[in-house]
Structure 1
Amino acid sequence: MLLWKKEEKSLGQIGEDAAAKYLKKKGYKILERNYFNPLGRRLGEIDIVAEKEKEIIFVEVKTRVAKNYSDTLPEENINRSKLHKLNKIAVSYIRNKHLWNYPYHFDAISVLYDEAEKKTQVRHLKNVFI
């Protein structure tokens, strides 16, 4: 008899799930999760693509375990190079989905995860890159 062990979620998946739940609660519609260009992953991926009030929002999610964040906050790992890649994949998304008439911007969501309590703390940073 085989017993299947339920796979535990990765820290990144926990953070992205918390971010998606937060966005839905705030009235955002989730269009895509973990979007990458269908022609290849070389541009990277966007964690969440959402829509609110006819605007497309590309969301980068950064997650850390709460006890390990004393030195840096999760969002501090979003640098100029990462934003440049996000812009390229966002343009790819807009082109592939024929959404040229929609305004868009980039947000970041920082998630701190308390392993003992199994709880997340979400911080939403809007318009991190124009």
Structure 2
Amino acid sequence: MSGALDFFQKHVVKEMKPGDCNDNMRAINKDIRRCKMINTFFLDPKRTLDQICTSAKNHLTVNINLRYTDCHRCQDNYPDYTYNHAVGQATRVTVSCNEKRKPYHLAEVVKVEENNG
């Protein structure tokens, strides 16, 4: 893959098991060449986030009902690293949208955390 990862590659997955944080973070860390402290992955098998930037606003806040997994860095020794996870339910998300109505930055997530791993 060439170029930087897009919003969906960084934040949206169809499924994710608790042990998947290290593997999923590998592509993100390779792109930025360091170990990112935390990253949120939305479990979106129905692709409800595909049309999140339908308005012309730069910052868009929408109510959602999606499960998420946060991957938290617990060891930083790039490229060797370890991530823990926390899962829960996201109820609202704020994203930055570009002029092509594509999300490029996850600005805020309102979450209900369920457990840590």
- Common fold by TM > 0.5: no
Structure whose CA Rg is larger: 1
- Judging by fraction of residues, say which structure has more helix: 1
- Judging by fraction of residues, say which structure has more strand: 2
The two structures have a TM-score, normalised by structure 2, of 0.30
